[in-house]
């Protein structure tokens, strides 16, 4: 009896329900895409492309993860493909050393802020939801100003917690160029946030 229940549960875990994807997962996937590419129309398109790709690959779904996790993984690869597309050709033009003033902001060994240049606290009180929403809005606007390769690298590193090696491999940038990009993105975001938030 228990074995039959386990088999039925296992079969249910491997069964997809595409007719429910929009109602159950579209908002989550849209939010995931929007925070990574910062373009509402493109985020909607990517969610639709994710659903289409999932339908085409439905026979490969093994049920080792939930539908949402599986759909998110498909979307994640689509986002990385977009990063690659946006970064192609741009990577070679940014292959350079940090600007002279940039070197002082960060530790050359680990890429972290030097103590004397550490950004000031923004004074965000997490209990104030409206203020936090406003900060998120300004951060998104500042991120939109980053060049596409910088945005891709910064998002993969600090939002998706991807390993440096993975980012370099996926976006075809050298490790030294990766750190230059991260440094410049941080400096740019810091400057933008200080002008628009504080």
pLDDT (tens, 9 = 90+) of the chain, 198 residues, equals 555 554 444 445 568 899 999 999 999 999 888 888 878 899 999 999 999 999 999 888 888 899 999 999 999 989 888 888 876 654 444 444 444 444 466 666 666 666 766 656 655 555 565 567 888 888 888 988 888 888 889 988 988 888 999 999 888 889 889 999 999 999 999 888 888 876
How many other CB atoms are found less than 10 A from the CB of residue 119?
15
Q: What is the DSSP letter of 1?
A: -
Query: For the chain, what's the residue count?
Result: 198
Residues with Cβ < 8 Å from 29, sequence gap 6 or more? 47, 50, 71, 72, 75
Per-residue model confidence (pLDDT) at position 104: 60
**What's the predicted TM-score (pTM) here?**
0.60
């Amino acid at each position: 009896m228990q074995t039959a229940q386990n088999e039925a549960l296992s079969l249910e875990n491997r069964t997809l329900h595409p007719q429910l994807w929009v109602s159950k997962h579209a908002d989550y996937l849209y939010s995931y895409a929007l925070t990574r590419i910062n373009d509402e129309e493109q985020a909607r398109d990517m969610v639709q492309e994710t659903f289409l790709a999932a339908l085409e690959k439905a026979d490969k779904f093994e049920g080792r993860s939930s539908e949402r996790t599986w759909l998110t993984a498909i979307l994640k690869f689509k986002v990385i493909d977009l990063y690659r597309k946006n970064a192609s050709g741009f990577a070679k033009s940014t292959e350079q050393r940090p600007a002279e003033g940039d070197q002082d902001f960060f530790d050359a060994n680990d890429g972290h802020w030097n103590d004397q240049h550490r950004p000031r606290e923004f004074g965000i009180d997490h209990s104030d939801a409206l203020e936090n929403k406003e900060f998120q809005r300004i951060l998104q606007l500042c991120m939109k100003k980053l060049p596409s390769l910088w945005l891709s690298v910064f998002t993969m590193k600090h939002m998706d917690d991807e390993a440096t090696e993975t980012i370099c491999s996926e976006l075809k940038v050298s490790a030294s160029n990766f750190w230059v990009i991260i440094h410049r993105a941080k400096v740019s975001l810091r400057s933008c946030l200080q002008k628009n938030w504080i």
